[in-house]
Structure 1
Amino acid sequence: MSGATEPVRSGDELDWDALESHLRAHLDLPAGRPEVRQFTAGRANLTYLVDVDGFRIVVRRPPRGALAPGAHDIAREYKVLSRLWAVYPPAPRALHFCADASVIGAPFIVIEHRAGEIVRDHIPPSMTHHPEVGRRLSLALIDTMTTLHAVDVDDAGLNDLGRPQGYAERQVSGWLDRWRRAAPDDGPAAMEVVAIELAESLPAPQRVSIVHNDLKLDNCQFQADDPDTVSSVFDWDMATLGDPLFDLANLLVATQGSAVQTASPEEVIARYAEQSGADLSGLAWYEAFARWRSAVVVQQLYNRHVRGDSSDDRLAALGALVPAIAADARRALDDR
């Protein structure tokens, strides 16, 4: 994992001595005092770059404060990344899992560090010389998505990652439960209405695959000289076995409004259909779900700011976005 880093934000410090002692007890680290910086891209899990005399590793732990059941599942992320790397090269290898929350205040995982570029709200200077670079990056993401969805779960040792039967139903009911836990008293009524309509029109899956559940441009890494290949995929704490069209819809919704000029939704859908052979005639349901789910995520992030569980000032403006996202989800269902 790589990307922009900054000095550790105030409030996100860990017990560095305890972390170093634990890492040295379980990993072969060089001599020397670790230098720690914080990755800037993520808004939830706390992710740190630990550099010991040029040997770099990544430490990830859940955010502070109350968490929704099943959210920020670091143990799940370790399970995936300790196995998937062997058959899916974009998955960085997990090196260690610590379940003992007393070390740094929460369970955490250690992942190999990979150098490269992460694209968030602009094209990195090292890649701006490529023609149609944004379009090529987004099509590369579709390529790596279809490759992930084609992974044999037995070969990956991940046939126990989830329960595919009833996956769509659990997605709706699970995210509705999260909404009800997170919703303010004046939350948009559309959120409950959309949940009912989604539950009444569940699609039948065409196939089962590994589902990343948050596969988007800024959860990927590229090499500066190659915008046509995703070199790494990050943030696997929600990965499971289920209907792969959830991944495609989540990506389409995440891409809309991006400051990066990506491929059009029509081109993205056509690329996925060509490579996967999937029938995408029912994709509108999945897109409506993805919009609705994103409203829940935004509300959860905003609540972390309100409670003082995060020192990330970017979260302060998110609460005002929820009603508009809920309305978009309602329109997406009505327009099917």
Structure 2
Amino acid sequence: MSNTIHTVTEAHFHDARNQYPQDWRRLANYLHGQGLDFDSDIPPRQFATGFGNLNYLIRLDQQWAVLRRPPPGPIPPGANDMARESLILSRLPKAYPLAPRALHYCEDSEVLGARFFIMEYRPGLSIGGQIPETIRQNWRGEVPLGSHLGTLLIRLLADLHAVPPERVGLDQLGKPDGFIQRTLTGWVERARLAWSNHPPADLIRLIEWLQQRIPADQGHCFIHNDFKLDNVLLREHDLSPVAVIDWDMGTRGAPLYDLGVLLSYWTERDDPPCMHALNQMPTAGDGFPGREQAATLYQNLTGTTLTSLTYFRVLALLRSAVVFQQICQRKTLNGEDNDSGVEFGQLARELCSFALDVSRGQYF
């Protein structure tokens, strides 16, 4: 690979003043001891996207690579699991080539203050809440831009769910038996911690609804656990997939939960303001299929019945609400911008209310 960083511009990185510092000299010494050559003459750059893990473009063994580590401060239970992600990316690419290969894992938190791993760099375009205007103007596909992206997402998810975990040595990862109950219990506990024992009324109602309707365990598969558009890197010229990233919550579990998580980010034009405020995927325009159309396509591709999908939709929205409340809590504890913390907290409460609306059938 050449020294050129394809498809990446200055806008993709934090500037030097806003970059979270790392002890690069210590990293170089550690990697040298592992037989790896870290090029300290090319300063690492921190990618600007995301609220969670910190990602840096580095030069390793004369190739570009990505160093990935958790954010500073307390880590919620089960989150930002570098060991898990490194294990997945050392095995899954054999059957799912869009998963980047893990190159090295470091369990010694003394090196950079946290466990980290390094993976291959796949240059590509990441689309978040807004489609770049240049992409919209240059699209020459046979179907509307949103139709292409929405269909692509569902097909990639269906392809992932078709990978037998035992084929790639991931058949011991996670515990699929009792997955639904355990997932609910985990997010209820995280909600209690995030709201510091002062939960809003809609959160209490939401948890009661979920606890009273737990479906029977279904067939399981390997799931990504945070599958969404900005975790799919795309070639800029034709928007074909280059990579699927952010595997730190991957496990064996219910496929409809993975679909429910994806749909929890899938905003529609007539959704309430909180779903638009999420700004996670640009699905409210540009010809994107609606959530029901997306779910039907998934059913047609996989043969999976959608009987319990509403439950998983509601559970995934609870998860989103808790995540934004955790961000609010972290910003408050770290003394960061108070206004943004308040906004995240308000969004979390409104998502609880929207989840109740979904449970009542007011939205798909």
Kept in 2, the 8 Å contact 1:32–1:52? The answer is: no
Q: Which residue of 1 aligns with 2:185?
A: 173
The runs of 5 or more residues in structure 2 that have no matched partner are 268-275
Whether 1:106 and 2:118 are equivalent positions in the alignment is no
Tell me, yes or no, if the aligned pair for 2:102 and 2:120 is still in contact at 8 Å: yes
Secondary structure (helix, strand or coil) at the match of 1:231 reads strand
Structure 2 CA distance for partners of 1:7 and 1:27, relative to 1, 3 Å: farther
Counterpart in the other structure of 2:272: none
Which of 22, 43, 46 is 1:35 aligned to? 43
* Among 230, 235, 240, the residue aligned to 2:251: 240
**Greater mean deviation of Cα atoms: 294-303 or 52-61:** 52-61
Residue 201 of structure 2 corresponds to residue 193 of structure 1: no
CA contact (8 A) 1:11 1:310 kept: no
- Alpha-carbon offset, residue 265 of structure 1: 1.3
Alignment partner for residue 89 of structure 1, among 72, 80, 97?
Answer: 97
Go from structure 1 to structure 2 and tell me whether the alpha carbon gap of 1:157 and 1:110 turns closer, same or farther (over 3 Å shift): same
1:183 equivalenced with 2:195 (yes/no) = yes
230-239 or 9-18, which deviates more: 9-18
User: Offset of 1:177 from its aligned partner?
Assistant: 0.6
Contact 2:192–2:199, Cα closer than 8 Å, also in 1 = no
Q: By how many angstroms is 1:325 displaced?
A: 0.6
Question: Does residue 271 in structure 1 map to residue 283 in structure 2?
Answer: no
- 1:96-118 CA-to-partner distances (Å, cap 9, x unmatched) read 11011110110001010011111
Is it true that 1:221 corresponds to 2:233 in the alignment? yes
In the alignment, structure 1 residue 319 sits paired with structure 2 residue 327: no
C-alpha distance 111-188 of structure 1, shift in aligned 2 (>3 A): same
Structure 2: how far apart are the matches of 1:270 and 1:163?
A: 28
The answer for the alignment partner of 1:259 in structure 2 is 282
Residue pairs, 1:122-141, within 5 angstroms: 122-124=130-132, 127-128=135-136, 129-130=138-139, 131=141, 132-141=144-153
Contact 1:5 1:40 in 2 (8 A): yes
Question: What amino acid is aligned across from residue 224 of structure 2 in structure 1?
Answer: H
Higher relative contact order (CA 8 A, sep 6+): 1
Q: How many residues align?
A: 335
Pick one of 7, 15, 21 that aligns with 2:23. 15
1:332 and 2:358 correspond: yes
Q: Conserved in 2, the CA contact under 8 Å of 1:10 and 1:311?
A: no
The aligned amino acid for 2:250 is: A
CA contact (8 A) 1:90 1:233 kept: yes
Where does residue 61 of structure 1 map in the other structure? 69
Deviation at 1:54, TM superposition (A): 6.3
Q: Is the 8 A contact 2:177 2:217 kept in 1?
A: no
Is contact 2:39–2:59 with CA below 8 Å preserved after alignment? no
AA paired with 1:305? Answer: K
Cα pair 1:94 1:112 within 8 Å, conserved: yes
Q: Aligned Cα RMSD in Å?
A: 2.4
CA contact (8 A) 2:28 2:40 kept: no
Q: Which amino acid aligns with 1:12?
A: Y
SS at match of 2:28: helix
**How far apart are residue 134 of structure 1 and its match?**
2.4
What is the Cα deviation at residue 196 of structure 1? 2.3
- Quickly say closer, same or farther: Cα 1:28–1:287, change in 2 above 3 A: same
Would the alpha carbon gap of residues 315 and 58 (structure 1) be closer, same or farther in structure 2, given more than 3 Å must change? farther
Cα deviation for residue 37 of structure 1 reads: 0.9
TM-score, normalised via structure 1 length:
0.92
Spell out, residue by residue over 1:17-38, the C-alpha distance to the aligned partner (whole angstroms, 9 max, x if none).
1112223333543755232111
